[in-house]
Structure 1
Amino acid sequence: MTEQCTTEDTTAVPIDLSNQFLMAMPGMVEGSLSGTVIYVCEHTPKGALGLVINRPTDLTLGTLFERIDLELEIAPVKDSPVFFGGPVQTDRGFVLHAPAGDYSSSIKLGDLALTTSRDVLQAVAEGSGPARMLVTLGYAGWGAGQLENEMAQNAWLNVSANLHIIFDVPPDERYPAALKLLGFDPVMLTGDAGHA
């Protein structure tokens, strides 16, 4: 006998999706987050914050650094794309990186750190910054209980995050790579998946 998922009481069993990937289910997540893989930086009873890791923009790090009056000549870093991190605060930069250095606005995230201060970019320009990083403009955010409700409605699949996918897999291959961590092919997904 199978149980049906309901959305009546999502607060009964607290879930923590920090350090997880969320993969948008086709037909369930629309707009700017459709087809995304999101790395969840923080998930608490107050809400969640994550960064889209598979949506590069036309803006390069070299151009971004010019705009903030930093000189970046390190190749291939200067040609790396800046990512659309989500629809919230799209004028603000977020740097997801392997921990390195001591920056003024960093949050430790297990094997990673999230930094929002300029000093991490200054360190990159000087050649002493983190070796592995993903820079985004904006983030994806959820209020208290919102992500839990979306999970109960099967809008997202989740799996433990994988650093190789964040930093080494080409952006257009990150969604299928994240799904493979769950053991299936994205071609098999439909908007009705996950319903019992």
Structure 2
Amino acid sequence: MDQPSLTGHLLVATPLLDDPNFRRAVVFMIDDHDAEGALGVVVNRPLELPVSEVLEDWGDYASDPAVMFAGGPVGTGAGLALAVPEAAEAPLGWRPLENVDADSGVSGMGTVDLDAPAEILGTALGRLRVFAGYAGWGEGQLSAEIEEGAWYVLPATVEDVFCADPDALWAGVLRRQGGDLALVSTFPDDPTLN
């Protein structure tokens, strides 16, 4: 049986996931989970490094907080950017995410070519977030982690990716699901102190 595409969804770390790279992480899936693996970015790990200090021309276009985000442990020396254009017409240098349903909460989001002229492309973007590195999984690895109970697979919204308060995102995403997941959102950071 084929697993549905995870592109455009969130992977929210369960309290059981204790890998320091992903503890209480919210990962936005960029590339389809398929035989070649999967790719996403952690959207709730802001760094104390302004975008303008790394990519001078893009700093003025970055969404608040206008800092680099630690996208994951892979390729940390490279930048990856997600954006939503201002207008319906796609600007040059922006590519929509593939395999995202038209009625998804993230339709209209895509990746940005950071080598494109910022003064032209940046003005066409309504929202922009820049990540250092990404989260990647090899063939079958992510499926196994989901089956083991390391991740909740949840619908995403544009507001999740461009959240102005990323430190509250993990609990906020779980809380809005209601039921048992809303209860999980109150799980203490260190249960031994409870």
Q: Say whether the fold is shared (TM-score over 0.5).
A: yes
TM-score by length of 2: 0.77
Amino acid at match of 2:36: K
Distance 1:139 1:27 in 2: 21
Q: Percent identity?
A: 27
**What is the aligned partner in structure 1 of residue 47 from structure 2?**
57
Amino acid at match of 1:171: P
Displacement of 1:118 after TM fit?
Answer: 1.6
1:38-57 alignment runs, 5 A limit = 38-42=27-31, 43-57=33-47
Does residue 20 in structure 1 map to residue 15 in structure 2?
Answer: no
Distance 2:39 2:158 in 1: 18
Does residue 148 in structure 1 map to residue 143 in structure 2?
Answer: yes
Q: 1:178 to 1:78 in 2, by over 3 A?
A: closer
Structure 1 SS opposite 2:177? coil
Match of 2:165 among 161, 165, 170: 170
**1:97/1:114 contact within 8 Å kept:** yes
Q: 1:177 to 1:169 in 2, by over 3 A?
A: farther
Distance 2:117 2:44 in 1: 22
**1:120/1:129 contact within 8 Å kept:** no
Structure 2 SS opposite 1:40? strand
Distance 1:147 1:158 in 2: 11
Unpaired runs of 5+ residues, structure 1, are 1-11, 191-196
CA RMSD of aligned residues (A): 2.7
Displacement of 1:161 after TM fit?
Answer: 0.6
Amino acid at match of 1:98: V
**What is the aligned partner in structure 1 of residue 26 from structure 2?**
37
Q: 1:86 to 1:123 in 2, by over 3 A?
A: farther
Unpaired runs of 5+ residues, structure 2, are 99-106, 190-194
**What is the aligned partner in structure 2 of residue 3 from structure 1?**
none
Distance 2:108 2:18 in 1: 28
TM-score by length of 1: 0.76
Amino acid at match of 2:138: G
Q: 1:115 to 1:71 in 2, by over 3 A?
A: closer
Q: 1:25 to 1:41 in 2, by over 3 A?
A: same
Does residue 139 in structure 1 map to residue 134 in structure 2?
Answer: yes
Please say which structure displays the higher CA radius of gyration.
1
Amino acid at match of 2:40: G
Aligned residues: 173
1:1-196 alignment runs, 5 A limit = 12-42=1-31, 43-66=33-56, 70=57, 72=59, 74=60, 80-99=66-85, 100-103=90-93, 106-109=95-98, 110-119=107-116, 121-123=118-120, 128-183=123-178, 184-185=182-183, 186-188=185-187
**What is the aligned partner in structure 2 of residue 5 from structure 1?**
none
Distance 2:132 2:58 in 1: 19
Structure 2 SS opposite 1:63? helix
Distance 2:67 2:117 in 1: 17
Displacement of 1:111 after TM fit?
Answer: 2.0
